[in-house]
């Protein structure tokens, strides 16, 4: 069974209480359950992680690069400024899908730029938790094409 890392950046552990008008009322635990269930249905082993620490996130990306593991990434605030994360992501050889719960292009101007997008296989944004489901489906399809 193919392993996929679903990595989540700053403040995503606060889902359900953080700006529910933007991010919804569902919790991070709900997201974890959805990702794992979706993975099982797609024949993927999904490991979901969240950190508020940039160095920890970069360490996880290095792990994925070394093991050639596909990544679904919600970089959260790191999206807009973390060149260190972008450089780590550029080392990935397996698919990388950038996801966002909300649509950054429809929000404040500082959210319009993603330093991650240029090294991602694709980006899915604005569909809430469904963004993750779509990303996992994309990983499954891309993995099947290369198998």
**pLDDT number for residue 84:** 96
- pLDDT cut 70: percent of the chain above it: 93
Length, in residues, of the chain: 147
pLDDT digits (tens, 9 = 90+) for 2-31: 999 999 999 999 888 877 776 677 899 999
**80 is known to lie in a ligand binding site:** yes
pLDDT digits (tens, 9 = 90+) for 35-54: 999 999 999 999 999 999 99
Mean pLDDT of 47-68: 98
Record: fold of 2-146: Rossmann fold (3.40.50)
**103 is known to lie in a ligand binding site:** no
Query: CB 9: neighbour CB atoms within 10 A?
Result: 23
**107 is known to lie in a ligand binding site:** no
Closest Cα to residue 128, out of 4, 46, 27? 27
**111 is known to lie in a ligand binding site:** yes
Mean pLDDT of 89-117: 84
Sequence-distant (6+) residues with CB within 8 A of 84 are 54, 58
Q: Is the pTM here over 0.75, yes or no?
A: yes
Mean pLDDT of 77-92: 94
Closest Cα to residue 100, out of 139, 61, 130? 130
Query: CB 91: neighbour CB atoms within 10 A?
Result: 12
In this model, does residue 106 exceed pLDDT 60? no
**pLDDT number for residue 21:** 72
**pLDDT number for residue 107:** 65
Active site residues: 23, 100
State the number of CA atoms in the 13 A half-sphere of 38 facing the CB.
24
Q: What is the mean pLDDT of the chain?
A: 91
């Amino acid at each position: 069974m193919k392993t996929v890392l679903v990595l989540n950046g700053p403040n995503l552990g606060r889902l359900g209480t953080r700006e529910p008008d933007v991010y919804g009322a569902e919790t991070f635990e709900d997201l974890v359950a959805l990702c794992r269930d979706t993975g099982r249905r797609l024949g993927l082993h999904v490991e979901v992680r969240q950190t508020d620490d940039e160095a920890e996130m970069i360490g996880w990306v290095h792990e994925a690069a070394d093991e050639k593991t596909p990544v679904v990434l919600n970089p959260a605030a790191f999206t807009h400024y973390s060149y260190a994360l972008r450089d780590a992501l550029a080392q990935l050889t397996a698919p990388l899908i950038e996801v966002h719960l909300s649509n950054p292009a429809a929000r404040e101007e500082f959210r319009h730029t993603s330093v991650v997008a240029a090294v991602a296989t694709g980006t899915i944004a604005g569909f809430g938790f469904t963004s993750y489901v779509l990303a996992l489906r994309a990983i499954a399809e891309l993995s099947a094409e290369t198998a």
